[in-house]
Amino acid sequence: MYFHRQELQHKATPDAPDAVYARKLQEVLGGQYGEITVAMQYGFQAWNAHIPGKYRDLLFGIGAEEMGHVEMLAVMIAQLLEDSPLGITEDAVQSDPTVAAIIGGTDVQHAIVAGAGARPVDSMGNPWQGSYITASGNLLADFTANANAEMQGRVQVARLYHMTNDSGVRDLLSFLLARDTMHQNQWIAAAAQLREEGYEDLPVPSNFPLAKEDRDVSYEYINFSNGEAAAEGRWASGATPDGKGEFSYVAEPQAGVPMPPPTHPDSRFYGTTELPNIVEKTAGAVQDAINKE
């Protein structure tokens, strides 16, 4: 169950309206790595979790916080749009090119569709979508997805920080940056603890019997480009992070195997096939089909 309190976790009021910036801020509300994504991602991971206890509790606890971040950003965007110009192109251009410039940089659906309100889209107007989230049931994989989401999110907020001078906006971003710092640390710590406690290990999924994979190529860096610098990386020699092998460097991919011959599906799929085949099939299956149908 979710309960709502008509307060915000942190102040979310700009000094002044800025419709162009409102559009940019949509990225961290409704983009691939925006707050809707993490709120939903942590929710689905919790609902699909197979273990009770501290890990699921963690997912529930953070998921609800992120819904509150969605709200703070939506409320901020609505205020940034509050005095946004209507966007009468003719007028704007004639009187003041900067007004036209501003209009050019806005999300025009903010005006036409939402009447100066926030929208569930990213900064280019693409609607948020369920395929942004990850919830596999394997928590080591999923916590790594979460760490990535918080990293990408913090990178985006850091960039947005420099795209405005509004102290009210920066105050909120400063808060979100700090929470992203926490959440990065948290998911890395949680992933480490999963390994320490023996729930999962590398490679993920760790329960799959290693004997069933082709161990000959499990630790080979195979170089499919013509550079040689990658030979110097930690991924090309030394112990592997999973503690189960040694990296090796293969400068030139092994010879491959021949392509299997092209397929010959039923001729009633009407693909283009070899000529003798066509002849045969015309006299054969297709003709039969004609006759019997």
State which of positions 61-90 bind a second copy (CB under 8 A): 61-65, 67-68, 70-71, 74-75, 78-79, 81-84, 86-90
* C-alpha of 155 from chain center: 13
User: Which helix (H) or strand (E) is 246 found in, with range?
Assistant: strand 246-250
Mark residues 247-266: x for contact with a second copy by CB under 8 A, - for none. Answer: x-----xxxxxxxxxxxxxx
CB of 160 to a second copy, least distance (A): 6
Category of 31 on φ-ψ map: left (φ > 0), alpha (ψ -120 to 50) or beta? beta
Phi, psi of 247 (to 5 degrees): -65, 145
Site for a second copy in 157-186 (CB under 8 A): 158-166, 174-175, 177-182, 184-186
Map tokens 């005006």 to a residue. Answer: 111
Measure the CA–CA gap between 43 and 67, rounded to whole angstroms: 10
Alpha carbon 260 to chain centroid, angstroms: 36
User: Which of 35, 38, 141, 288 touches a second copy by CB under 8 A?
Assistant: 141
State in angstroms the smallest separation of the CB of 182 from a second copy: 6
Q: Which pair of structure tokens corresponds to residue 48?
A: 């699909």
CB of 6 to a second copy, least distance (A): 5
User: Out of 35, 38, 58, 288, which residue is the one contacting a second copy (CB under 8 A)?
Assistant: 58
Q: Which of residues 112-131 bind a second copy (CB under 8 A)?
A: 112-131
Instruction: Map the footprint of a second copy across residues 19-38, applying CB under 8 A.
Output: 20-21, 23-24, 27, 30-32, 36
In angstroms, the CA 17 to CA 79 distance is 7
Minimum distance between the CB of residue 284 and a second copy, rounded to whole angstroms? 12
Q: Total residues contacting a second copy (rule CB under 8 A)?
A: 213
Q: Are 22 and 85 in contact, with CB atoms under 8 Å apart?
A: no
Smallest gap, in angstroms, from Cβ of residue 22 to a second copy?
10
Q: Does 288 bind a second copy (CB under 8 A)?
A: no
Q: Taking the CA of residue 284 as centre, how many other CA atoms within 13 Å lie in the half-sphere pointing to its CB? A: 10
Distance CA 278, CA 273 (A): 6
Tokens encoding 163: 């795209």
Q: How far is the CB of 14 from a second copy (least distance, A)?
A: 10
Q: Which of positions 204-243 make contact with a second copy (CB under 8 A)?
A: 204-205, 207-209, 211-235, 240-242
